[in-house]
Amino acid sequence: MKEVQDHFFKLAKEEGYRARSAYKLTELDDRFKLMRVGSRVLDLGACPGSWIQVAAERVGDRGVVVAIDLKAIDKRGFGPNVHLIEGDINELTREHLPYAMEGKLFDTVISDMGPDTSGVPMADSARSVQLCHAMLDRLPFLLRTGGHATMKVYEGADYPALVRRAQMVFTEAKGYKPSASRAESVEMFIVCRGYRGPKDTGPGPRDPSLPQRAPSKGWNS
């Protein structure tokens, strides 16, 4: 399997992608048609930017890509239709979205967010699931009715409940593991199509025992 991983790493270098994770989104989009030319895409957990590169290629000059991460993203190489924001998904509101959106909702939300891992699989999975619920909580002011989404999650005890919630929010939702993911990795991507709209499907579970993120230092775009 290491030879396969080396393949994606080398391919990313050859084709100018910032990380091998570009091929995960490429496969997800090829298979599930999440984006199209002219789409408005929100990329959560976007650093270092390989998913931005793929999304920008897929939507073209007529589309818009808004990318958010806690870390600053190097803007070199991105076109004028890419907007970078430094901030925390847990504090995201409509007001943080750039003027370029002109009040429009996104056609697609993609998330490669992951928590800082602790080495304790159960805890890491729980934190990952919480990030996914944070995304789902905000879809009413982010994603248009009929839009699509995909989000990375670490499988664990809370994973099935997350999939069930996604199936309530979308007409289709299921887990998928791209070939570029490591075989031993517990990461899974929940692919969601056909957002039902801002109807009340209930908030995601909140576990007060989970460590909370420190407040962000503010939002920068």
Q: What is the pLDDT of residues 66-122, one digit of tens each?
A: 999 999 999 999 999 999 999 998 888 888 887 767 789 999 999 999 998 888 999
Does 79 map to a domain? yes
Q: How many domains does the chain have?
A: 1
- pTM beyond 0.85: the answer is yes
Question: Which tokens hold the place of 48?
Answer: 């270092």
pLDDT digits (tens, 9 = 90+) for 131-186: 999 999 999 999 999 999 999 999 999 999 999 999 999 999 999 999 988 878 89
Q: What residues form DSSP beta bridges with 151?
A: 111, 190
Does 83 map to a domain? yes
Does 48 map to a domain? yes
**Domain residue limits at 139:** 22-195
Q: What residues form DSSP beta bridges with 170?
A: 195
Is the preceding omega at residue 48 within 30 degrees of 0, hence cis? yes
Does 217 map to a domain? no
Does 15 map to a domain? no
Q: Which residues are catalytic?
A: 152
Position 218 scores a pLDDT of 54
| Nearest-angstrom CA–CA distance, 165 and 145 | 17
Does 221 map to a domain? no
Q: What does DSSP assign to residue 99?
A: G
**Residues composing the chain:** 221
CATH number of the domain that 30 lies in? Answer: 3.40.50.150
